[in-house]
């Protein structure tokens, strides 16, 4: 494995080629396509890391290297690795009641009641196994409720890999339409014509969205977005953007769908809709509600969800609402509800220490950057010089210094601090992270930035 060192201009050899992680990944490639079951975990510029175990804020690889984990499994581990109450709930469910029963269970009802308490817009909901599944069902629900076909999505927003929505959400700038919206570009080879009814629009630009809606308006079943963009770094909505989109969708009789896979339990206990006081028609939640177990949910008002109740719109799944997963979700949600008045200020404070500390380091070293913190989420963008405030995908694609970020991430991984090497990915802080953890992280980041980022 080579790591680019901007100080010397040379590729430095590191021991990762000879590590157990590298050898294990090579072995994995003989049976798993690419060595793993998710491309994001085995990107070509990702230093080999095969995880062995996690505890609290820490992660260990199979070489027994220890890392302070700022990724938290891409966000789900809001209470850290091996949270004791989640482990106890899952263990009890498996050992005393069973992992998969094939019937309705009380634990599923308990978890649903708690989600409804945190997300009042989800008067009725259904569980699914992943954000991809829940997003696909949310779109089907919008089309059922409106009897329309078209869907408006936004550049840089990811809603899973289903045929219904998988567009090229990280398209190059020259592939994006000059007018700010246009037909969706298929996200991969092998897709059907399902994206023919999908229009992709520039986000955080209300004038462009209004033109897009007017042109397609009364054929639009739903407008789907991440209310805080979390799949192209972490970008907040401009003041009034969500509120205006809400008003325009009501005027056009279209469903507003909030994909809160990332922001649910992260932006606040009730997600971005609670933080910004905007109520969507349909909500999708996942990641943090399961504490590391594969779970998602979609929900809406009783009226809209009657299509599912009646069977007019089909939704199923052998593992949807799996008892083991529901035990984990119920434990997470129980703790969130019980502790939220103290939990969220703590998460905000700990994340803020990292955000301010890294900002101060980069500012002192004259490293151009922008940074956004929202709750326990942190987005760090290294830029090519001082640029206007980035507010959408086009901005980060145009101004982001991705190569330098990769160099910085590789160095930090070698120093025992892990965050994802793709700058589009946010950092996730958990309740297990302490102020002492942040002091260690910032000390190593300062040394790393001085070595890797100072020209």
Q: Where are the domains of the chain?
A: 2-82+340-452, 84-337
Catalytic residue among 158, 344, 393, 405: 158
For residue 134, the model assigns a pLDDT of: 98
pTM over 0.85: yes
For residue 15, the model assigns a pLDDT of: 53
For residue 16, the model assigns a pLDDT of: 62
For residue 39, the model assigns a pLDDT of: 87
DSSP H helices, 147-230, are 206-216
Q: Strand, coil or helix: what is 225?
A: strand
Catalytic residue among 16, 114, 287, 405: 287
Task: Report the C-alpha gap between 322 and 13 in whole angstroms.
Answer: 46
Task: Report the C-alpha gap between 249 and 233 in whole angstroms.
Answer: 26
Q: CA 261, 259, 151: angle at the middle one, nearest 5?
A: 145
Whether domain 2-82+340-452 has CATH 3.40.50.300: the reply is no
Asked if 251 is an active-site residue, the reply is: no
Pick the CATH number of 84-337 from 3.60.15.10, 3.30.70.20, 3.40.640.10, 3.30.565.10: 3.40.640.10
Catalytic residue among 61, 63, 69, 259: 259
For residue 18, the model assigns a pLDDT of: 81
Helix H or strand E encompassing 117: helix 106-118
Under-50 pLDDT residues of the chain: 1-14
Asked if 64 is an active-site residue, the reply is: no
For residue 40, the model assigns a pLDDT of: 86
Asked if 259 is an active-site residue, the reply is: yes
Helix H or strand E encompassing 126: strand 124-128
For residue 369, the model assigns a pLDDT of: 98
For residue 6, the model assigns a pLDDT of: 35
For residue 3, the model assigns a pLDDT of: 43
């Amino acid at each position: 494995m080579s790591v680019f060192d901007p100080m010397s201009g040379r590729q430095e050899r590191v021991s990762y080629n000879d590590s157990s992680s590298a050898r294990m990944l090579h072995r994995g490639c003989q049976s798993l396509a690419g060595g793993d079951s998710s491309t994001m975990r085995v990107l070509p510029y990702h230093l080999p890391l095969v995880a062995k175990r996690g505890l609290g804020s820490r992660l260990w690889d199979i070489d027994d290297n220890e890392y302070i984990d700022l990724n938290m499994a891409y966000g789900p581990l809001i209470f850290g690795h091996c949270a004791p109450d989640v482990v106890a709930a899952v263990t009890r469910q498996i050992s005393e009641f069973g992992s998969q029963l094939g019937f309705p269970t009380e634990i599923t009802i308990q978890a649903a009641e708690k989600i409804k308490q945190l997300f009042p817009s989800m008067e009725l909901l259904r569980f699914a196994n992943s954000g991809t599944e829940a997003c696909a069902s949310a779109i089907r629900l919008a089309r059922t409720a409106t009897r329309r076909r078209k869907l408006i999505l936004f550049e840089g927003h990811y809603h899973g890999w289903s045929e219904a929505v998988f567009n090229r959400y990280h398209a190059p700038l020259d592939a994006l339409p000059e007018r700010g919206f246009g037909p969706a570009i298929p996200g991969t080879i092998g897709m059907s014509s399902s994206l023919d009814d999908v229009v992709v629009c520039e986000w955080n630009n209300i004038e462009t969205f209004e033109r897009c809606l007017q042109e397609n308006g009364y054929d639009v079943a739903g407008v789907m977005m991440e209310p805080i963009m979390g799949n192209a770094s972490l970008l907040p909505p401009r003041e009034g953007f969500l509120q205006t989109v809400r008003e325009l969708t009501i005027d056009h009789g279209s469903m507003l769908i909030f994909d809160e896979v990332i922001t649910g339990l992260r932006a606040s206990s009730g997600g971005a809709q609670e933080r910004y006081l905007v109520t969507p028609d349909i909500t999708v939640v996942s990641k943090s509600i399961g504490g590391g177990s594969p779970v998602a949910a979609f929900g809406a008002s009783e009226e809209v969800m009657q299509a599912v109740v009646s069977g007019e719109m089909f939704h199923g799944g052998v593992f949807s609402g799996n008892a083991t997963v529901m035990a984990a979700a119920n434990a997470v949600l129980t703790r969130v509800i019980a502790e939220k008045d103290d939990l969220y200020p703590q998460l905000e404070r700990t994340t803020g220490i990292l955000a301010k500390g890294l900002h101060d380091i980069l500012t002192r070293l004259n490293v151009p950057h922008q940074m956004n913190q929202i709750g326990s989420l942190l987005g760090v963008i290294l830029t090519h010089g001082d640029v206007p405030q980035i507010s959408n995908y086009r901005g980060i694609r145009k101004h982001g210094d991705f190569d330098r970020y990769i160099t910085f991430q590789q160095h930090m991984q070698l120093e025992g601090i892990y965050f994802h090497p793709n700058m589009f990915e946010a950092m996730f802080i958990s309740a297990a992270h302490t102020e002492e953890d942040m002091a260690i992280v910032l000390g190593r980041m300062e040394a790393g930035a001085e070595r890797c980022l100072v020209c």
